[in-house]
Amino acid sequence: MKAHERSILSDYDLKKPSTRFLYYLMNLFVVIMMCCMAYPIVISMLNGLKLNTEVNSFPPTFFPTEWHFENYIKAWNYIDLPKYFKNTMFIFFGNMAVTISILGFAAYSLSKLKVPFKSAIYYYFLATLFIPATTYMIPNFINLKDLGLMGSFAAIWLPAGANAFFLLLLKTFMDGIHTEIFESARIDGASELRGFFQIAFPLSIPIFATLAIFVFSTAWNDWFWPSFILNQDNKPLSSAIRDFVLNARRLDLNIKFAILTLVMIPPIFIFLLFQKYILRGLYLGGVKG
């Protein structure tokens, strides 16, 4: 006899009218939420296929009366999207390298090495999570200016090495790696550097993959800080969209929607491809003391 996996609600539970009503009501709410989330994406894509007069018409139309796919060609040629995409990738790979090197070493030290006042250091970093980011924005700006990094990608990469949330997330994951593995490596003469690269880092690939998604999301969506400290040639795609598309007064709305649709495609693709790592990252986000 084939065994059936039991879910939260069994077939017997669904026979009760009250339970079945609540079940369908919850599913209705899920469908409504899905429609609310998908509507901005769909309407942006469809508006990018309309004439500008139709986009500005009232009452508005959902589907275009005429499909103008050439709008996306105009949108692609309006600004140098590959250039700003390349800048965004430079920011992402630089932030990821800093996360692996600086935060990875720091998490390994707090987790597997005998660091004086380890608990105090841990709770110090934990306390910084309660400080609003706006309070240390000006000190960061002054520090980067004094270091002569204004306008360069290093002004984005360097602060990425001070992400307390990523540090605690990495430490929590590395705490789950058995200490005996590192003790055996030390007995065999392995250095701590070798222990990190040959033991800790390979076993921590899942959490680093999760952090890569978070870092990519930040590099793709953050426009304020890059607009604040980077020059025009080094700005990422989000800053270019704000400067040349959202703030443009003479750009037709249909072309604006077409550009925004092109910009939305990569993060949606990344989410669909790596959604299991994103959900795992939300699960690992419960930092324990």
Question: Is pLDDT of 58 > 90?
Answer: no
Looking at residue 60, the DSSP 8-state letter turns out to be -
For position 29, what pLDDT does the model report? 94
Do residues 44 and 257 lie in contact, with contact meaning Cβ atoms separated by under 8 Å?
Answer: yes
For position 3, what pLDDT does the model report? 46
H-only helix segments in the chain: 11-14, 17-47, 52-55, 70-78, 81-98, 104-112, 118-128, 137-146, 154-160, 164-175, 179-187, 192-195, 201-203, 205-221, 224-229, 237-241, 253-273, 275-284
For position 189, what pLDDT does the model report? 85
| Cα distance between residue 231 and residue 239, in whole Å | 11
Question: Is pLDDT of 282 > 70?
Answer: no
Q: What is the mean pLDDT of residues 241-259?
A: 87
Give the residue with greater pLDDT, 5 vs 115: 115
For the record, the structure tokens of 217 come out as 């999301």
Q: How far is CA 99 from the centre of its chain?
A: 14
Do residues 52 and 70 lie in contact, with contact meaning Cβ atoms separated by under 8 Å?
Answer: no
pTM over 0.75: yes
pLDDT, tens only, 216-242: 988 998 888 888 888 888 889 988 898
